[in-house]
C-alpha cells in the first residue's frame, strides 16, 4: 500500500500520465478540488454531503455565487434551488471522475436525499439500490410530534444504465450468514471509543460508523481500488479504506476535521493479505469444461447421469456431450434445459452421478478437479 501522502500514478484506463493524489487529504472546496482530478480515474465515490444549506456557514445562489445571509432575502424556493445547484455541481464532477465501471454511494436523510436522488438520475447515473441504514440506537423524538427518525438512506448507482460494476455478491452473502444481503442494514450509531472527541466534545456532528463503510467497501470495491470521498469529515472512509487495503482520496474544507482525520487514518491498521481474502464467485475460478472431466477420467464415456430425482437418465459421450434415452443430445446445460422445457439450466448442479454415498452433482467432480490442479 502506498504511504500516506505520496503521489502515485493513476491506473485510469483513459490517461496514464496524470497522477492521482492517492491516500491524501486535499483541503479546500470540494467542487474546485474535484475539477482538478482527471476523468475516469476513481473506482468508487462515497459522499456524505451536507444536507442543510449552511454549507460551511455560507449560502450559495442557484448559480453558485455567494450570498450574504444577513442582507439577502431567502425563501424556500431559493433555498432548494441553491441546494440543487450545489448538488448537481459536485455530482457532475463525480460522474466525470468516476471510471466507467465505478459506482457512487451517497448518504442522506429525508431533508436532502430526494433532491440528491433526483439529481443522480438526471445526471445519467443508474440507481442500483437504495439502502436503509437502520440505527440500532437512534435519538428519540423528545417532543412526541413525529415518528422516531431511526434511519438514513443511501443511494448506490453505477455510471449509466448499461455500465458494468463491481458487486461482491458472495462476500455479502457470506457476511450475512449465507443469506442474500438485503437493502436494509442495521448498525449502531457511531459512539464509544470510535467516536472522535477533543476535550470531551465530539469533533464532528455526524461521524459515520466504520461498520457502514466497511460493508460498502467490501461490497463494491476490490483491494487496490481507489475510493474518493469529497466530504471527508473526520475520515471514516479513509480509515476503513486503509484497513481494507483500498486507496483513498479525501476532500475536506474544515481544517479542524482534516487534522483529526489524518491522525485517525495514520493509526488505522491495515489488514494483512490473507485476512483480506473473501469468498469468490464461481465465475472468478478458472473455467472447467465438462469434457475436461471426461478427458481426465473423472467420468467415463458411456457412464450414466441422472437428475436429482432420477426423472431423466442420460449417457456421456466421448466429446463430453450427453445423449438422452429418447435420442436427444446436447451439452450438459442445453440438454438439461431441453428435457425440463426450461429456458436455461445449470448442468453442473442439475446432473448427478452415482457415488458411494448416493447421488452427487457433477459439480462436486469439478471442485475436486480444481483442488487437484490449482497450486
Partner DNA sequence: CACATCTGTGAATCCTCGG
Partner DNA sequence: ACCGAGGATTCACAGATGT
- Identify the residue among 4, 31, 85, 128 touching DNA (CB under 7 A): 128
Which residues, 6 or more positions from 237, have their beta carbon under 8 angstroms from its beta carbon? 46, 213, 227, 229, 248, 250
- Identify the residue among 10, 171, 207, 237 touching a second copy (CB under 8 A): 171
In whole angstroms, how close is the CB of 182 to DNA at the nearest point?
A: 8
> Residue 3 and residue 82: Cα distance in Å, rounded?
39
Q: Name which of residues 346 to 375 contact DNA (CB under 7 A).
A: 346-349, 363
**Can you read off the three cell numbers belonging to residue 271?**
489488514
Closer CB to a second copy, residue 181 or residue 251?
181
Give me the half-sphere count of Cα atoms (radius 13 Å) on the Cβ side of residue 362. 27
Contact between 124 and DNA by CB under 7 A: the answer reads no
Site string for a second copy, 98-127 (x = CB under 8 A): -----------xxx-xxxxxx-xxx-x--x
> Residue 198 and residue 41: Cα distance in Å, rounded?
35
* Segment interacting with DNA (CB under 7 A) among 177-185, 246-254, 262-270, 354-362: 177-185
- Identify the residue among 22, 30, 107, 218 touching a second copy (CB under 8 A): 218
Contact between 129 and a second copy by CB under 8 A: the answer reads yes
CA distances, 271 to each of 166, 232, 235, 266 (Å) = 21, 22, 18, 14
Q: Name which of residues 324 to 343 contact DNA (CB under 7 A).
A: 331-334, 337
Closer CB to a second copy, residue 37 or residue 216?
216
Contact between 174 and DNA by CB under 7 A: the answer reads no
Q: Give ∠ CA 228-229-231 in degrees, rounded to 5.
A: 155
In whole angstroms, how close is the CB of 19 to DNA at the nearest point?
A: 29
Reduced to 3 states (helix: H, G, I; strand: E, B; else coil), residue 32 is helix
C-beta neighbour count of 13 within 10 angstroms: 12
Residue 266 interacting entry, from a second copy, DNA, none, C-beta within 5 to 8 Å by type: none
Contact between 277 and DNA by CB under 7 A: the answer reads no
- Identify the residue among 26, 104, 190, 226 touching DNA (CB under 7 A): 190
In whole angstroms, how close is the CB of 6 to DNA at the nearest point?
A: 30
CA 109 to chain centre: 20
**Cell numbers 502515485 correspond to what residue?**
8
- Identify the residue among 133, 248, 290, 298 touching DNA (CB under 7 A): 290
Q: Name which of residues 264 to 323 contact a second copy (CB under 8 A).
A: 271-272, 274-279, 281, 289-292, 294-297, 300-302, 315-321, 323
In whole angstroms, how close is the CB of 142 to DNA at the nearest point?
A: 4
Residue 316 interacting entry, from DNA, a second copy, none, C-beta within 5 to 8 Å by type: a second copy
Burial class (CB in 10 A: 0-12, 13-18, 19+), 63: exposed
Find residue 132's DSSP bridge partners.
153, 184
CA distances, 32 to each of 9, 86, 94 (Å) = 21, 12, 12
In whole angstroms, how close is the CB of 331 to DNA at the nearest point?
A: 4
**Strand 66-67 to 98-108 pairing:** unpaired
At 361, which helix (H) or strand (E)?
Answer: strand 358-361
Closer CB to a second copy, residue 29 or residue 194?
194
In whole angstroms, how close is the CB of 111 to DNA at the nearest point?
A: 4
Q: Name which of residues 71 to 90 contact DNA (CB under 7 A).
A: 75
In whole angstroms, how close is the CB of 1 to DNA at the nearest point?
A: 26
> Residue 111 and residue 52: Cα distance in Å, rounded?
8
- Identify the residue among 7, 69, 136, 255 touching a second copy (CB under 8 A): 136
**Strand 247-252 to 24-27 pairing:** parallel
Contact between 318 and DNA by CB under 7 A: the answer reads no
Residue 263 interacting entry, from DNA, a second copy, none, C-beta within 5 to 8 Å by type: none
Find residue 232's DSSP bridge partners.
none
> Residue 218 and residue 223: Cα distance in Å, rounded?
9
Closer CB to DNA, residue 41 or residue 207?
207
> Residue 246 and residue 229: Cα distance in Å, rounded?
13
> Residue 169 and residue 359: Cα distance in Å, rounded?
29
Amino acid at each position: 500500500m502506498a504511504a500516506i501522502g505520496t503521489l502515485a500514478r493513476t491506473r485510469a484506463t483513459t490517461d496514464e500520465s496524470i497522477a492521482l493524489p492517492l491516500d491524501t487529504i486535499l483541503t479546500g472546496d470540494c467542487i474546485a478540488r474535484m475539477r482538478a482530478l482527471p476523468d475516469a480515474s476513481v473506482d468508487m465515490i462515497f459522499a456524505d454531503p451536507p444536507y442543510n444549506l449552511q454549507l460551511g456557514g455560507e449560502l450559495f445562489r442557484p448559480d453558485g455565487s455567494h450570498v450574504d445571509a444577513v442582507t439577502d432575502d431567502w425563501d424556500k424556493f431559493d433555498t432548494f434551488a441553491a441546494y440543487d445547484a450545489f448538488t448537481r455541481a459536485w455530482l457532475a464532477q463525480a460522474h466525470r471522475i468516476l471510471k466507467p465501471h465505478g459506482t457512487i454511494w451517497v448518504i442522506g436523510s429525508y431533508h436532502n436525499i430526494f433532491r440528491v436522488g433526483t439529481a443522480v438520475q438526471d445526471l445519467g447515473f443508474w440507481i442500483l439500490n437504495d439502502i436503509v441504514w437502520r440505527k440500532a440506537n437512534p435519538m428519540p423524538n423528545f417532543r412526541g410530534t413525529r415518528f422516531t427518525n431511526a434511519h438514513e438512506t443511501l443511494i448506490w448507482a453505477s455510471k449509466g444504465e448499461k455500465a458494468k460494476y463491481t458487486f461482491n455478491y458472495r462476500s455479502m452473502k457470506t457476511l450475512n450468514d449465507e443469506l442474500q444481503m438485503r437493502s436494509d442494514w442495521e448498525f449502531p450509531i457511531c459512539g464509544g471509543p470510535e467516536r472522535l472527541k477533543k476535550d470531551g466534545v465530539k469533533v464532528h456532528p455526524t461521524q459515520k460508523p466504520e461498520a457502514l463503510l466497511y460493508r460498502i467497501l467490501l461490497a463494491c470495491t476490490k483491494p487496490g481500488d481507489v475510493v474518493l470521498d469529497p466530504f471527508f469529515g473526520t475520515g471514516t472512509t479513509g480509515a476503513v479504506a486503509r484497513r481494507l487495503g483500498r486507496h483513498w482520496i479525501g476532500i475536506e474544507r474544515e481544517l479542524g476535521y482534516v487534522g483529526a482525520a489524518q491522525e485517525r487514518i495514520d493509526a488505522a491498521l491495515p489488514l494483512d493479505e490473507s485476512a483480506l481474502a473473501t469468498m469468490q464467485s464461481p465465475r472468478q475460478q478458472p473455467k472447467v469444461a465438462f469434457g475436461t472431466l471426461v478427458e481426465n477420467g473423472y467420468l467415463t464415456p458411456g457412464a450414466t447421469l441422472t437428475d436429482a430425482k432420477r426423472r431423466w437418465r442420460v449417457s456421456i459421450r466421448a466429446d463430453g456431450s450427453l445423449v438422452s434415452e429418447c435420442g436427444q443430445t446436447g451439452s450438459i446445460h442445453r440438454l438439461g434445459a431441453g428435457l425440463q422445457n426450461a429456458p436455461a439450466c445449470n448442468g453442473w448442479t442439475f446432473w448427478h452421478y452415482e457415488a458411494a454415498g448416493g447421488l452427487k452433482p457433477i459439480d462436486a467432480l469439478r471442485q475436486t478437479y480444481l483442488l487437484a490442479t490449482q497450486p
